[in-house]
Structure 1
């Protein structure tokens, strides 16, 4: 019999709030976390097509993680550690009372330690003094620095993995946490997604790719507009989300509060293009179908989809088409929301933050609105997308996440029933 797996703790660092309570209150109110980038010190924003992002302006490493770790890790790992600490506390998980090798850490990250990476390479070329490179440069910029620091800070000695599949990274981290528990490698997994790549080079790269919104630089809060006719690209964001995932048996044994059940996951590759999805939507539909099959959930039971919905012209239309392919005449009856409309696209953290919004929607019966859905694009019009909060009893929900390199992930969460 397949082991049941549940979610017992949540933690988040986001442009609309640090901490789950602040995040969820802002999300339900539809508040945007998108703002103008003042500058990339030491040069201004004049040369950039896009000048806005979902920035976290009030994060203090000393306050949220302490100076011991704050001085030794990149910004993205600081976010990961802060979110995981909140999730551990929220789950009332005392790792010192657990068998430490039965507690794992799986982190999804798209870019890694780019803040330090860009700073150090710039200083090296300017100074031409190799001996002045930061002594912790290598361990800090590696993609697994966040999973390492989370494990060291928490005492988790089980499987320690980093998944890097661009924008789908932390959805895969969550799916791999499910597999890790079902295959008996761990009782508990701290699943995290984190990225902090609002940096001069990364931002320039996305601008050169013409992937970012540039029409709303003077109205940042209006720029991220999934499924809307006026969308013109995604808005970069930063942040982290963490979920405590554990076997139902383990959760019951320690009398943990259960938010929702994590019941299915699918990972596929379109093997098509590094950036653009197949426009017929068939591969995205297949990914969702496989995830539902793995969860033993029929399409008729799905009441909510937390859409990938980045606010790109092709991507949103393809996802909407895929939803219609899979759900047919039920497509307009399913509630759909786009968390990226509020926080921007947080890259490797997007799946985890979306999973937190999905978990809270299942637990509370409230679904946050999709901001800036003012003029629905006929190419991706779906009846369940709303500018206002929705109340809905959710039996099962889908979380979609798609990444560069033709990479697709879908995760199924369900209302927990004992």
Structure 2
């Protein structure tokens, strides 16, 4: 049996656990923002990914993402059900310091939360059965290919595209898939639905912020100076985005809004994600300010154009992923992690990042829209008007988040 470094192994176990915690955090974040009759429906869509995605990941997901198909679009099934991978095997060969199983688990947590991000866009409009089909197909045809192409040695990786922790792979694909979902299912009947519990949104944001340290710092996949930089960059970008959003909204609306502050924090974390381990600390400040201002503008434009992205998945995650990936192309520094960006004269790398994030956004949008149309041929995607009026908690799940007296 190989000898593993206990510190590095413990760090990766901790990072994996932190990323897992982000999924319940997302459920609380979305659950608090949802209307009072749709709390459980949106939370269940998030939590169910913990089960469905784990089954998929162990059976075919890991193999399709991280085996075979070098330079291609998708891997193969040579490691289906983790066949041929003993639990004693080292990650990356003898030069690494922890078992490959913890890498498998770490990447699985990313797979779990990515499709769950999309759910906030179509809150109280989609049937649970259709969502389960969506959850499976979206991973097979959107998430797995982009993981393989960028993180699994596929065609984009060989082209030189970098994505530290998921600007393209996670946020851009999920955000633009969310926008496609909004266009397909249409607007809510009650667009004036207010958040049922802002304190629940705050709890969710806190869990997401805490978990994001594992999401970004853990993506170095080892413990070194870049790990600590990615950790600090994450917090700095989130903090600057939080205060930027707060100030803009305060000036525009005359009052400092708590939901705006919390939304700004998530925007900052989503935006720094692709760049966290490639840019210096000062760039994280710039990226945080850009996230807080540009994601705010995106949400305002969404409202102006009448897109009913209920919980701002496109404006925060989709545009955050795009802005962050472009920022990586601009601010990457060879002194940080060996990759120079536009400000160091590497315009070629900048263009690769721009093209990659555009490919991810466009493909995810088009495929998601078409996939929902196909799913609708077999099982109805959108709930009936009666079910929507009653609320999905009661009509689909036969449960209520609170006693009637609390409503």
Give the TM-score band, short-chain normalised.
under 0.3
Question: With structure 2 as the length reference, what TM-score do the two structures score?
Answer: 0.26
Query: Given the two structures, how large is their TM-score scaled by the length of structure 1?
Result: 0.25
Structure with more of its chain in helix, by fraction: 2
